[in-house]
Amino acid sequence: MNPLKKFFDNIHPLVEEGGKLHCLRSLVDGFETFAFVPNTTSKRGGVNIHDAVDSKRLIFFVIIALMPALLFGMYNVGYQNALMGGGDTSDFWGLFLYGFLAVLPKILVSYIVGLGIEFTVAQWKNEEIHEGFLVTGMIIPMIVPVTLPLWMLAVATAFSVIFAKEIFGGTGMNIFNPALITRAFLFFSYPSAMTGDNHVWVNGDKILGLGYEASDALSGATPLGEAAVEGFQGFDCATIGNAITGLIPGSIGETSVIAIALGALLLLFTGVASWKVMLSVFVGGAATGYLMQASGLTEIEWWHQLVIGGFCFGAVFMATDPVTAARTEGGKYIYGLMIGFIAVLVRVLNPGYPEGMMLAILLMNLFAPLIDYCFVQSNINKRAKRALKK
């Protein structure tokens, strides 16, 4: 027998009702189902799928899909530090190690705080641990600046898990995407740490002797931030090329279109993410960007809107969240189109908030149930009419 499996079998009597370690039941159950496919299926009534593929297995695919963007983000953190500090930008492993050390504490804080709350709530409610935070805990550090203080990240993560997830009943019951609620909380509670200073996007300090001290005279503004101040002249060929590769200041995991595209291919190939939502977001953003440029409201090319800021990351990893997105097949198109439309609209018409993706997704999270309701009622009415004709 597998030694790890034997360990869990031996510890079961201790964590079950009446056992000495009953307070750890949910924790042990969470780790066991993380390591092994559960040998039980849903006992709820109604329609259920009874097979060996539980949600943890699907979540693994999302985590793997996030890896290209995360790993490149670590390298880019080191690259931006060397660029601003006048250091050697050709030392790949040195830059990556610096970025790894800068990003790792944020990942640890996100998981420790979020999973700690989820373990506590699961034990208190005598339920199994919801595994959704395995993805959320990875996304949260990827959508914040590298210089964000750890205590702010901890407070925002706790707020999100409690008020955007657990208060609704946990994974599968939440209305809003918890990772985006974390970012929204940070944006409105600590704006200077998110966008108030150009240097929030570039870490200008040494870590364990690695990296360079960046000069305060240098700017670390994002392309969207520059566009809000300078207009179209901030978008030259070099800027757009760097936005596609990812060598620009920005949130840790949102800068590289190429890395995000690799994750998108995996999600689409495995069927974990909806291609209808993903495609519709890009179509809605492209169409709105074209109309905004044609009407003279902006000089930014429509396709520039798709490759800068958090547009790609939001479209691939957050708009497609199956819990908070529209679930009807027709509704997915409307949901995605509206996200793309609102994101670009906010960017163009509100220079004070150049990144509109967060607000667009959260707003459509709110309307997703209404969109599904309309499509379901429409189908019911059509079937009722056909039945009456017969």
For 197-260, the DSSP string reads: SGGGGS--S-BTTBS----TTS----HHHHHHHHGGGG--HHHHHHHHHT-SSSSTTTS-HHHH
pTM above 0.95, yes or no: no
Specify the pLDDT at position 179. Answer: 95
Rounded distance between C-alpha atoms, residue 28 and residue 310, angstroms: 37
Q: Which two tokens stand for residue 364?
A: 């459509």
Q: Which residues are within 8 A (CB) of 3 and not within 5 positions of it... i.e. 6 or more apart?
A: none
Structure tokens belonging to residue 134: 């395995």
- What is the per-residue burial (b if ≥16 Cβ within 10 Å, else e) of 49-60? eeeeebebeebb
Handedness of CA 276, 279, 280, 281 (dihedral sign): positive
Question: Tens of pLDDT along the chain (390 residues)?
Answer: 677 777 666 676 766 776 766 666 666 666 666 666 666 655 544 444 445 555 666 788 999 999 999 999 999 999 999 998 888 999 999 999 999 999 999 999 999 999 999 888 887 877 777 777 889 999 999 999 999 999 999 999 999 999 999 888 877 789 999 999 999 999 999 988 887 555 678 888 899 989 998 765 455 566 666 665 555 555 555 578 888 999 998 899 999 999 999 999 999 999 999 999 999 999 999 999 999 999 998 888 899 899 988 999 999 999 999 999 999 999 999 999 999 999 999 989 886 677 889 999 999 999 999 999 999 999 999 888 888 876
Helix or strand or coil: residue 55? helix
- Which positions ≥6 away from 112 have C-beta within 8 Å? none
What single letter denotes the amino acid at residue 274? S
Cβ neighbour number for residue 216 with a 10 Å cutoff: 10
Q: Residue 85: name the closest of 200, 220, 194 by CA.
A: 220
Alpha helices by DSSP H, the chain? 3-15, 25-35, 55-85, 92-125, 133-142, 150-163, 178-189, 191-194, 223-230, 237-245, 257-270, 275-294, 302-307, 311-313, 329-349, 357-389
Q: Give 70's contacts (C-beta < 8 A, 6+ positions apart).
A: 103, 138, 142, 252, 253
Q: Are 156 and 148 in contact (CB under 8 A)?
A: no
pLDDT for residue 29? 67
Contact 288, 275 (CB under 8 A): no
- Chain-centroid distance, C-alpha 153: 15
Nearest-CA neighbor of 322 among 169, 121, 137, 174?
Answer: 174
* Distance (Å, whole) CA 248 – CA 231: 17
85, 214 in Cβ contact below 8 A? yes
- Count of C-beta atoms within a 10 Å radius of residue 222: 26
Q: Are 53 and 38 a contacting pair, CB within 8 Å? A: no
Judge whether 127 and 133 are in contact, CB under 8 Å: no
Given a contact cutoff of 8 angstroms between Cβ atoms, the answer to whether 63 and 138 are in contact is yes
What is the 8-class DSSP label of residue 169? T
| Nearest by Cα to 246 from 321, 342, 142 | 142
Q: What is the 3-state secondary structure (H, E, C) of 213-228?
A: CCCCCCCCCCHHHHHH
